[in-house]
Amino acid sequence: MILVTGGLGFIGYNLIKHLNSKGIDQIVIVENIKKSKTMDIKLKKLQNIDFIDLIDREDIDRLLESEIQKIECIFHFGACTDTTETDFKYLFENNYEFTKKLLDKAYSKGIRMIYASSASVYGNKNYAVSEEDNPEPLNYYAYSKFLVDKYFIRKILSKGKSRIVGLRYFNVYGPHEENKINMSSVILKFFNQLKNEGKLYLFEGSENFKRDFIYIEDVTKINVFFMENNYEGIYNCGTGKSESFLKVAQIIIEKMGFGQICYIPFPENLKNKYQTFTQANNQKLRNIIDIEFTPVQKGIENYLSYLLENYG
């Protein structure tokens, strides 16, 4: 049995589809059913995947007790991913304490676990960050991920012989992220702006705001690699290259064949809480996995084809 928390979210759903393509369908999906604001979007995904059960996150203790011997791997994606969330108590309970529970159970039972960390823990650094760089979280969401990584490093990795990996995701984009709404990738936001208004809106200075964009198919391959191989630790999950928001906007306008760029003032509420540059030093990952990352232009082309087919 494979447990996937957040299995109807962006990365979780793509992972399940990938596992299904490999003939793996003994999957239990865990979702925050009672509190999700996008459950209608998520439920539509159920008919396109093979799984054995869907449970609410509040019932996970019962599952871990009754079915623990059957669980071979836990993929943990379930979390509040809103970087503008101001309720730290909610993030503390939802992102930190819930993940600690899973980490402790996986370690005590020797279960393989791959959990979602975030490049947001690094804060504002103007170079390619490695896993050894000091975290400098800028917002409450980043702090919740920082706390998880700190706990994992101090309480589990320090003991050795775990089967747990934390992946610090950079800017993941691609099909099936519709449920992320405000936290969706800039590619989806730009597509919707073009479709609705014929314009793309960029913050002033976006030619200098750069991100390490990683395509969802690459992310699922990396997750499956860690499921199938014995490693532990924290790894950057990024391409090692960065592109500006302006460049992404220009690629989309070129591929769509229309549109113009409009600049808007940078929001006051994001000042000092916004990463202006992200790029992974992914040498640690490349030392163990042979992967050719999807170039951002190719990834955007693939994603636009999906969007035009489904929402064009």
Dihedral Cα 150, 171, 91, 104, nearest 10 deg: -40
Asked if 60 and 99 count as a contact pair (C-beta separation under 8 A), the reply is no
Distance between CA 262 and CA 16 in Å, rounded?
Answer: 38
Asked if 87 and 16 count as a contact pair (C-beta separation under 8 A), the reply is no
Q: Residue 220: what pLDDT?
A: 98
Q: Given this structure, which CATH class describes domain 2-172+214-239+281-286?
A: alpha beta
Distance between CA 44 and CA 61 in Å, rounded?
Answer: 26
Q: Residue 35: what pLDDT?
A: 80
The predicted model scores a pTM of 0.96
Q: Residue 34: what pLDDT?
A: 83
Please give the single-letter amino acid code of residue 190. Answer: F
Distance between CA 80 and CA 63 in Å, rounded?
Answer: 22
Strands 199-203 and 171-173: unpaired
- Phi, psi dihedral angles at 170 (to 5 degrees): -90, -145
Q: Based on C-alpha coordinates, what's the Rg of the chain? A: 19
> pLDDT (tens digit, 0 to 9) for every residue of the chain, 312 residues total?
999 999 999 999 999 999 999 999 999 999 999 888 888 999 999 999 999 999 999 999 999 999 999 999 999 999 999 999 999 999 999 999 999 999 999 999 999 999 999 999 999 999 999 999 999 999 999 999 999 999 999 999 999 889 999 999 999 999 999 999 889 999 999 999 999 999 999 999 999 999 999 999 999 999 999 999 999 999 999 999 999 999 999 999 999 999 999 999 999 888 887 889 999 999 999 999 999 999 999 999 999 999 999 998
Return the H-helix or E-strand segment holding 250: helix 245-256
Q: Residue 274: what pLDDT?
A: 85
CA 242 to centroid of chain Cα atoms: 17
176-210+242-276+295-311 folds as: UDP-galactose 4-epimerase; domain 1 (3.90.25)
Would you list the domain boundaries of the chain?
2-172+214-239+281-286, 176-210+242-276+295-311
Distance between CA 41 and CA 10 in Å, rounded?
Answer: 11
Q: Residue 145: what pLDDT?
A: 98
Asked if 168 and 146 count as a contact pair (C-beta separation under 8 A), the reply is no
Report, as residue numbers or ranges, the catalytic residues: 141, 180
Q: Residue 198: what pLDDT?
A: 96
CA 304 to centroid of chain Cα atoms: 19
Residues in the chain: 312
Distance between CA 276 and CA 212 in Å, rounded?
Answer: 11
Q: Which of 91, 104, 118, 93 is nearest to 155 (CA)?
A: 104
Q: Residue 160: what pLDDT?
A: 83
Distance between CA 212 and CA 219 in Å, rounded?
Answer: 13
Asked if 212 and 279 count as a contact pair (C-beta separation under 8 A), the reply is yes
2-172+214-239+281-286 and 176-210+242-276+295-311 in the same fold? no
